[in-house]
Structure 1
Amino acid sequence: MTAAAEDQVVPGLYDISAELYHQDPIPGGSLSSTGIRRITDCPARFKYLLDHPEPYKPEFEFGTAAHTVILGNGPELVVVDAKRWDTDETKARVAAIRASGNVPLKPEARQRIDDMAEALARHPEASDLLTPGSGIAEQSAFWQDDNGIWHRARFDWLRPDDIVDYKTARSVHPDAVAKAVNEHGYHQQQAWYRRIAVELGLIPPSGAFKFVLQEKQPPYLVTVAELDFPAQVIGAELNDRALYTYAMCLSTGHWPAYSEGTTHISLPPWVERKYAQENS
């Protein structure tokens, strides 16, 4: 896909830059996994962020760099070996690196990412899933549903029979992973990506989706996770509801907030249970 061909997009898999993908090359716009999760949370917030894109956040650079090293595809990583990053000279150099589409890293950050890659290579299942040549990295997919809504996804690692999504995390303890899935909507991301991949014939309907999660601090523990059936069903249903909401908002021009009247708030159930136990 090129800028000149943006008005002739057809459903399929494209090897395009992350920048072009995030700019959304579909005329009239398309929905991403992030977008569908934002609509699920609040249509008004989704519309605001659509009209006012979030500014660049340097804190995302470590994750981007880790993806580049682990998956073998991404922007160039440039080590900036300066004692201080707050001098005018260093700030100008860092800004120039970012402006060219590359990622500046402190030496210790680059070493940490290399150590993470070595730790992941020692994990039997994760290293097997991400074996060079077993899949293709950072591919963008576009698909249009029967209602004319374009869906888009950018796969970390697309294999013939499954999708692998790599994420860095503070903790890969199963309880922490479950919390992250719920908090960040990974179950919706999985359902969104799988549907696009299946509809485009990129994976079979039985194709798996696996998360490879890795801690960002030594010893850089790794967990390979699959969502259970209820989580998959809930993710797909939330996406269907959000698609309906999106279509309604487009047709009416009204993007509702959390509530448009007085909302009655209860304490969390555990607070009520604790109070009842202590005062019974």
Structure 2
Amino acid sequence: MTAVAEAVEPGQYDIPAEQYHADPVPGGSLSATGAKKILDCPARFKHALDNPEPPKRVFELGTAAHSIVLGDGPELAKIEHKDWRTKAAAADVKAARAAGKIPLKPAEYAAVYDMATALAADPEASELLAPGSGEAEQSLFWQGDGIWWRARLDWLRGDGIVDYKRAKSVKPEHLEKVIWEYRYHVQEHVYRSGVAALGLLPEPVQFRFIFQEPEPPYLVTVAELDPAAQDIGRLDVERAAFLYDHCRRTGEWPAYVPHTAVLSLPDWVQRQYR
């Protein structure tokens, strides 16, 4: 493992999240998040690339949970104000962010620690994230499909990858929809590919998700994708790599469709008129 790198070479790096997200690869690289965006719409991907948005509140809450559960990440700051719309609260929130901390309301602060306690009580999840069993927040950089890739792994163990996520419900049938909606199958294949390309683990690389609900009793489900889902992930990642390479070479970043769209009404509407 390498510390902060001045010139990026393929490998595993232990670098701050800000440096990773700023993309230190000269000319740019494609991440799992970028792959998801370009699959949706190349034009929207390019706009986001040129106009980065400030972190959204929901992402801050997710990062806070990661910091406590994984033992790595920004410090949490409990903002003791009932109303964050006041000038005093706004000033404290701004100061916390300026210091690199995540500002949380008292209830949010307590919930993050309660989530960590509940996860520690789950035998399978706690074993996967046991202290000393892996390395947290590892950044990978590699080349494949003619382009540079990057990934930031939550937890890299000697026997595979673990990714921790919040989910409204951890019922398996709900998680199947979540995986498709957020394209977690794409993320999984990108992470597997990076670990394999760098020779960090023997193939096939094992990947396990830990999903946890953010509301009491903070239920946990450990999950893996079946071979069909993994294959769809591979196909989607191959398509994302093609789009990224093609758009960069041509300078053309098309919208959803390059021609006049022919639209139908939803099937459920049409059925009412048959």
What's the TM-score, normalizing by structure 2? 0.95
Q: How do 1:46-125 residues align onto structure 2 when only pairs under 5 Å count?
A: 46-125=45-124
SS in 1 for 2:272: helix
Identity %: 55
- Whether the 8 Å CA contact 2:4–2:14 is kept in 1: the answer is no
- Looking at structure 2, the residues matched to 222 and 25 of structure 1 have their Cα atoms a distance apart, in angstroms, of 35
Cross-structure match for 1:153: 151
Superposed CA RMSD in Å reads 1.5
- Looking at structure 2, the residues matched to 267 and 209 of structure 1 have their Cα atoms a distance apart, in angstroms, of 40
- Looking at structure 2, the residues matched to 16 and 50 of structure 1 have their Cα atoms a distance apart, in angstroms, of 21
1:125–1:271 CA distance, 2 compared to 1 (3 A): farther
Gaps of 5+ in 1: none
TM-superposed deviation, 1:117: 1.0
Residue among 165, 175, 187 paired with 1:167: 165
Cross-structure match for 1:275: 272
1:90–1:266 CA distance, 2 compared to 1 (3 A): same
- Whether the 8 Å CA contact 2:133–2:157 is kept in 1: the answer is yes
- Looking at structure 2, the residues matched to 146 and 119 of structure 1 have their Cα atoms a distance apart, in angstroms, of 41
- Whether the 8 Å CA contact 2:212–2:221 is kept in 1: the answer is yes
What letter corresponds to residue 60 of structure 2 in structure 1? Answer: E
Q: How do 1:103-252 residues align onto structure 2 when only pairs under 5 Å count?
A: 103-145=102-144, 147=146, 149-252=147-250
- Looking at structure 2, the residues matched to 44 and 113 of structure 1 have their Cα atoms a distance apart, in angstroms, of 36
- Looking at structure 1, the residues matched to 121 and 21 of structure 2 have their Cα atoms a distance apart, in angstroms, of 33
Which digits, 9 at most, give the CA deviation of each residue in 1:23-52, with x for residues without a partner?
001111111100011111111111111011
SS in 2 for 1:95: helix
TM-superposed deviation, 1:207: 2.1
What letter corresponds to residue 236 of structure 2 in structure 1? Answer: L
- Whether the 8 Å CA contact 2:93–2:103 is kept in 1: the answer is yes
SS in 2 for 1:265: coil
What letter corresponds to residue 230 of structure 2 in structure 1? Answer: Q
- Looking at structure 1, the residues matched to 130 and 68 of structure 2 have their Cα atoms a distance apart, in angstroms, of 13
What letter corresponds to residue 79 of structure 1 in structure 2? Answer: K
TM-superposed deviation, 1:2: 4.1
- Looking at structure 2, the residues matched to 262 and 254 of structure 1 have their Cα atoms a distance apart, in angstroms, of 18
Cross-structure match for 2:44: 45
What letter corresponds to residue 104 of structure 2 in structure 1? Answer: L
What letter corresponds to residue 64 of structure 1 in structure 2? Answer: T
Moved more, 17-26 or 108-117: 108-117
TM-superposed deviation, 1:190: 0.2
- Whether the 8 Å CA contact 2:4–2:13 is kept in 1: the answer is no
- Looking at structure 2, the residues matched to 14 and 201 of structure 1 have their Cα atoms a distance apart, in angstroms, of 14
SS in 1 for 2:91: helix
What letter corresponds to residue 101 of structure 1 in structure 2? Answer: G
**Number of aligned positions between the proteins:** 272
Cross-structure match for 1:33: 32
What letter corresponds to residue 198 of structure 1 in structure 2? Answer: A
Cross-structure match for 2:256: 258
Which digits, 9 at most, give the CA deviation of each residue in 1:165-223, with x for residues without a partner?
00011111112101110100000000000000111112221221010000000111101
- Whether the 8 Å CA contact 2:209–2:224 is kept in 1: the answer is yes
- Looking at structure 2, the residues matched to 128 and 205 of structure 1 have their Cα atoms a distance apart, in angstroms, of 22
